[in-house]
Structure 1
């Protein structure tokens, strides 16, 4: 009997969906402990703050002043390091949010805010997001800039970056969504240097010629293997509240016509209850798309039917109890 119940429960109840999140660096611990190490001249250069934030309770405030050089290398920086160690042939989605302070410097040189650095000592990283002048840019292996957009200050910007890591241009690729829209379709390109590794750096790293103070905020960093684990959640639609029609003003009761018979109060009206023609007809999501749709069209539901599953379980448990009572008898 027990085997029968377990078999039926397996059929009636849907399976759980396993998440594809590999790592979070979203600062929701209230600190920077999610990261492997820091490159900063002092604690106030990389601060976890509660305002501004765009998700959860905490975000990172990265500040760079001219002369900040914690590792005695080129440029000025204060960055967090995460030794993610992506391997040749691995494929991930990364999502994070960035906001540039209202007084973020406008200079005709590079200011890197997110980079996937090679483990080698020298040269430009194979993947870097940076600001130059009044543009945000994505550059690959210091040779290709497949995407750029206007720099916007004082507003959170959302990035989803899809990468296959490879030193081969025929195997590696990148894909990018910015503020909910696909802005770079899948582009084949080398994303690693040959015989080299990859790790993440987050904060602010810029030319040492920049004089004004630079501040940039980071929030919500997530690394995952599945699109569903990084896509934004659409808000639940709110059903409109029905409005009762206003009855016409009472103009008085007319005198009954002697030649017209009174209606029989015992006969029900043939009109019946009013039909609500405003309820929307549910539509099914489109399937078969190889590339995830934009955030404006995608829908995804996770979970199970609690009513159907519960009734089935109760019915099976009741059946089991009846069989046990009959055996005891």
Structure 2
């Protein structure tokens, strides 16, 4: 029986497909050990806190004061660094949450809260999220800004960011969801500098002209190869309704929002001059629902197989149990 199981497993293994998370930086270890290193002037600038938190028990509090320069470079910063596996042609989904306190400074200067920095030494990164004045922006190489929205303080901003990493503008693209609504359709653009890789920097990095203390909270960072792997778990089913009690009626639910239409969800797609977002059509999600990109279907997390491979293996495994019990 054992030889038969091994033989069947060898035949069926090519049909198995595994979905999973590539990396988590969600601080649920209670520290910053999930990251490669920290760039900070002191430990109090990057703290793990229990409140506020978007998910789980812990989040990151990043604080920057004027003059904070732990790496003797331009600007002021305190950031975590993660050296990932992004390379030419790779494609990932990233999900994380950011909160700006109600006293977050409003200045007409750049304040980067998430960036994928190039492995080269100098210049702006090919992908960065930052605040300027009263706006949150996504800016790519060559200062292309395909999306921006009004900065809202005191609430969590839940991002899902889809990237095809490439130095070829006809191959690379980005796509963005915010708080469950797709706010940027697939937008073709350079996402890598030729010959460079990228690595994640999470925290706060800003112009050294900014004087007020700045604080940003981060939580839940997840990197995966499929949209389904970063989506929140489904809501539990409602409790059964007592047959003797009439079911509650809906007092009025807001109609669905066309998340694929510029301006319909949070933020506005702003393609640079001469460039046009690709794949502008999109399905119509319900409020707060993240849908997969057009032409893609969210896949279940875990293992799936063609032809019920796992079911076959499970039945064969059970077939051998009576004999082992008799031997005992």
TM-score > 0.5 by shorter chain? yes
| C-alpha contact 1:79 1:205 (8 A) present in aligned 2 | yes
> Partner of 1:296 in structure 2?
289
User: Any idea what SS the aligned residue of 2:68 has?
Assistant: coil
Aligned length: 274
Q: Any idea what SS the aligned residue of 1:44 has?
A: helix
Aligned-residue offset at 1:228: 1.1
Cα separation, partners in 2 of 1:196 and 1:237, compared to 1, 3 Å: same
Correspondence for 2:203: 203
Q: After superposition, where does 1:218-257 map in structure 2 within 5 Å? A: 218-244=218-244
How far does residue 38 in structure 1 lie from its aligned partner after superposition? 1.2
TM-score, normalised to structure 1's length? Answer: 0.73
Match in the other structure for 1:105: 105
Distance change >3 Å, CA 293–CA 69, structure 1 → 2: farther
Q: How does 1:77-92 map to 2 (within 5 A)?
A: 77-92=77-92
Is 2:75 the counterpart of 1:70? no
- What's the TM-score, normalizing by structure 2? 0.74
- Give the C-alpha shift of residue 242 in structure 1: 1.4
Is the CA contact 1:20–1:224 (under 8 Å) kept in the aligned structure 2? Answer: yes
Instruction: Give deviations 1:261-287, integer Å, cap 9, x for gaps.
Output: xxxxxxxxxxxxxxxxxxxxxxxxxxx
Equivalent residues of 1:118, 1:197 under 8 A apart: yes
Q: How does 1:1-329 map to 2 (within 5 A)?
A: 18-244=18-244, 296=289, 316=319
Mapped to 2, the partners of 1:148 and 1:23 lie a distance apart of: 27
Contact 2:78 2:204 in 1 (8 A): yes
Query: Deviation per CA, 1:182-234, whole angstroms, max 9, x where unpaired?
Result: 11010110001111121110000011111111000001111111111111222
Is the alpha carbon distance of 1:72 and 1:292 closer, same or farther for their aligned partners in structure 2, counting shifts above 3 Å? farther
CA RMSD of aligned residues (A): 3.4
- Give the deviation of 1:315 after TM superposition: 8.6
Taking the aligned partners of 2:29 and 2:318, their CA distance within structure 1 comes to 44
Give the whole-Å Cα distance in 2 for the aligned partners of 1:292 and 1:313.
43
The residue matched to 1:219 in structure 2 has which SS? strand
Partner-residue secondary structure (3-state), 2:19: coil
What corresponds to 2:256 in structure 1?
none
User: Unaligned 5+ residue runs, structure 2?
Assistant: 247-280, 292-297, 305-310
Distance 1:301 1:64, change over 3 A: same
Distance apart, 1:236 and its partner CA: 1.5
Q: Distance in 1 between matches of 2:245 and 2:102?
A: 50
Paired residue secondary structure (1:125):
coil
Contact kept, 8 Å, 1:84 with 1:199, in 2: the verdict is yes
Higher mean C-alpha displacement, 178-187 vs 82-91: 82-91
Structure 1 gaps, min length 5: 247-289, 325-329
Aligned to 2:257: none
CA distance in 2, matches of 1:139, 1:38: 24
Cα 1:2–1:27 shift into 2, 3 Å = closer
**1:72: Cα distance to partner?**
1.4
CA deviation string 1:62-100 (max 9, x = no partner): 000111111111111101111114111111111101001
Say which SS state the counterpart of residue 159 (structure 1) adopts.
Answer: strand
1:135 and 1:44 mapped to 2: Cα distance? 27
Shift of 1:133: 0.7
* Regions of 4+ moved over 3 Å: 1-10, 290-295, 297-304, 311-318
| Contact 2:68–2:78 under 8 Å retained in 1 | yes
Inter-CA distance 67–6: structure 2 relative to 1 (3 Å threshold): closer
